[in-house]
Structure formats: structure tokens, C-alpha cells
A and B are shown apart, each in its own frame.
Chain A
Amino acid sequence: EAGVTQFPSHSVIEKGQTVTLRCDPISGHDNLYWYRRVMGKEIKFLLHFVKESKQDESGMPNNRFLAERTGGTYSTLKVQPAELEDSGVYFCASSRKAGTANTGELFFGEGSRLTVL
């Protein structure tokens, strides 16, 4: 099966510009997560979708970040306007629901590296 794919792999933008990151989860995975890693720090949770619904968006830094998952398939994460501190690697992950048959492990994309100048 195809893995989690993210686009773009790297984006360089100027402060004040807009960037949209896309994530295509593994087919059939209801859970979709966005994480961010700033150099040297932990992988920080941003938000969690169950199908098209936002289950938990407690990690979203501020209202410059907007995530959507229309139709419960792919997701986008838009940053508008971007600030210097938004630089980092944005990871998307998907999973099946944890249960007796599986651990709920996360399957990650390769990340989208965002550099804001």
C-alpha cells in the first residue's frame, strides 16, 4: 500500500507570505495528525483529524494556522501570514484506530521542511 505522502518536501518563503502544505494519508486511515519539529526540539503535536472532523487542535500555535481535511481524505495546513518562528519540519501521520488488532502506531510522511526568511 502507498505510504503517507507530503508535498512540498521543502518550501522557502518570505515572512508575510502564505504557504500550504498537503498530506495524503494511507487509504483507509481515519486518523490524520499534523506535527511540527523545530530544530533540536521535540516533535510537537499540532492537531488531529478523525475523518473530516477536527478531534483535537490544541497544539495549533495561533490563528495564522488553518488545517482542513475536506471529505476525510487528504489534508492541507495553511500558514498565513508566515512568520520566522514558523520555520521547521511539518510532519503528517496517519493511523487506524487503536484496538485489539493494532497498536494505533503512526505512519509518517517524510515531512515538509518550511523555511521562512
Chain B
Amino acid sequence: AQKITQTQPGMFVQEKEAVTLDCTYDTSDQSYGLFWYKQPSSGEMIFLIYQGSYDEQNATEGRYSLNFQKARKSANLVISASQLGDSAMYFCAMREGRKTIFGAGTRLFVKA
């Protein structure tokens, strides 16, 4: 069964606008971690942001914020003030215990 679901295969956003990338997850654990990674065309995977399941406040890292809604099991990534360099694949991931699993990814295109 799919544990990480990213329903948007592709998204377009105008430069300087904000964009939300959706992620829902499924787990029966009480303790888990949620991550977002960025994969630009060069191929490397870049860690963006982390949210622990017990964290009450939404995580923020610069222009990235994670909209964590625990009851709905969603962990959407919000990118504010999009830049051309934000064009990339974005993967949502969940750590249960020592194992991290990934969603299928969302390709973001930032338009000038």
C-alpha cells in the first residue's frame, strides 16, 4: 500500500508567486518524521525541510514552510516567492523508525 502520496505529477507557478506541493502519508506509528527533498536536473537530492510528528509548530526554512496537519496526515510544502531556480522535482518522505520512504514526486516548473 502506498504510504506517501503526492497527487500532483506536475505543477506550474509564476515567478515570485507562492506554490503548495501536496503530500499525504499513512502510518500507525506515533513517532515519525516528515521530509521534503529537492532534485534539480543535475540529479542530486537536496534536503529542504523536516517536521517531527511531535512538533506542534510548522517547520520553516527560509522560503520553505511545511504545512503539517497531523489529523489529516498531510505535510504540504509551501514555497514562497518562487524563483526560476526552484524548478525541480520535489519528493515528500517519511521516516518510520530507521526507514525512510518516498513519494513519487512532483515536478515544479517556475515560469518567468
Q: Does A50 contact B (CB under 8 A)?
A: yes
Q: Does A111 contact B (CB under 8 A)?
A: yes
* Residue pair A45, B98 in contact (C-beta under 8 Å): no
Known contacts: A31-B98, A42-B4, A98-B33. The answer to whether A105 contacts B91 by CB under 8 A is no
Interface set, chain B 8-60, CB cutoff 8 A to A: 33, 35, 37, 42-45, 47, 50, 52
* Residue pair B101, A45 in contact (C-beta under 8 Å): yes
Chain A residue at minimal CB-CB distance from B45: A108
- Give the residues in chain A near B45, CB-CB below 8 Å: 91, 93, 106, 108
> Nearest chain B CB to A86's CB is how many angstroms away?
19
* Residue pair B52, A56 in contact (C-beta under 8 Å): no
B contact patch SS? strand
Q: Does B99 contact A (CB under 8 A)?
A: yes
- Give the residues in chain B near A43, CB-CB below 8 Å: 91, 102, 105
Number of interface residues of A (CB under 8 A): 26
Known contacts: A103-B33, A105-B50, A106-B47. The answer to whether A55 contacts B104 by CB under 8 A is no
Known contacts: A43-B91, A98-B33, A105-B35. The answer to whether A110 contacts B43 by CB under 8 A is yes
* Residue pair A104, B44 in contact (C-beta under 8 Å): no
* Residue pair B47, A105 in contact (C-beta under 8 Å): yes
Total contacts A to B, CB within 8 angstroms?
58
- Give the residues in chain B near A111, CB-CB below 8 Å: 43-44
* Residue pair B44, A110 in contact (C-beta under 8 Å): yes
Q: Does A48 contact B (CB under 8 A)?
A: yes
- Give the residues in chain B near A42, CB-CB below 8 Å: 4, 102-105
- Give the residues in chain A near B47, CB-CB below 8 Å: 105-107
- Give the residues in chain A near B42, CB-CB below 8 Å: 110
- Give the residues in chain A near B91, CB-CB below 8 Å: 43
Given contacts A45-B101, A103-B33, A110-B43, 7 further A-B contacts (CB under 8 A): A42-B104, A43-B102, A50-B98, A103-B35, A104-B95, A106-B37, A108-B44
Chain A to chain B contacts (Cβ below 8 Å), 12 pairs: A35-B102, A48-B99, A91-B45, A98-B33, A98-B95, A104-B33, A105-B35, A105-B47, A105-B50, A106-B45, A106-B93, A106-B100
